Amino acid sequence: NAGVTQTPKFRVLKTGQSMTLLCAQDMNHEYMYWYRQDPGMGLRLIHYSVGEGTTAKGEVPDGYNVSRLKKQNFLLGLESAAPSQTSVYFCASRTTSRDNEQFFGPGTRLTVL
Amino acid sequence: KQEVTQIPAALSVPEGENLVLNCSFTDSAIYNLQWFRQDPGKGLTSLLLIQSSQREQTSGRLNASLDKSSGRSTLYIAASQPGDSATYLCAVISPGSSNTGKLIFGQGTTLQVKP
């Protein structure tokens, strides 16, 4: 049981390039989330999904797109990367049980030059 | 708008000391509160989750309490060890977000336990 995994672990992009971050979970969780973590800002929600085929905007969605074509995967896309998107990105998932406990992946460190 | 604050931002203690980490939130109407641990360069590990109807939760040397009326939670670590050195984050879910589970995080307290 791998839990929540993220690919890649590190990436360097040039301004204007695009990329996709992959999050996978093997816990059969309905809900999945993408956060970014920046010094002095804490973790902020980018987008989330309450089930396969659904997505919704979080606190800081601009410049990002997401897709949830399969229940176990949640993709975060950057169509035209900007230096302001340099950050550490975390994916999380949770079940529909009452406690709402979220489980996090190891993170992807992205640098945009 | 719900805001979560953790003070102090950093804390250094000698090994063996009992310590308390603080978390405060501006809107007392929370659904639940979760404490996480984050090691440098790593993801978040869930430590304890307290439902709004609960007053405390315990796991090993960790005890988390919740006082909704005052908008505060504390994480108590007994007999601290160097392995406890990490950043500790608290996060809340507001009742309006109980279905989506959107967490609102504090900025964390970075703990260093010196041998």
For residue A98, is pLDDT > 70? no
For the stretch B13-29, pLDDT in tens is 999 999 999 999 999 88
- B59 in reach of chain A (CB within 8 A): no
For residue A102, is pLDDT > 90? no
- How many Å apart are CA A11 and CA A6, to the nearest integer? 12
Residue with the two structure tokens 């839990």:
A3
Angle CA(B43)–CA(A78)–CA(A60) in degrees, nearest 5? 65
Is there a contact between A41 and B99 if contact means CB atoms under 8 Å apart?
no
pLDDT of A95 reads 80
User: Is residue A44 very low, low, confident or very high in pLDDT (cuts 50, 70, 90)?
Assistant: very high
Is there a contact between A90 and B89 if contact means CB atoms under 8 Å apart?
no
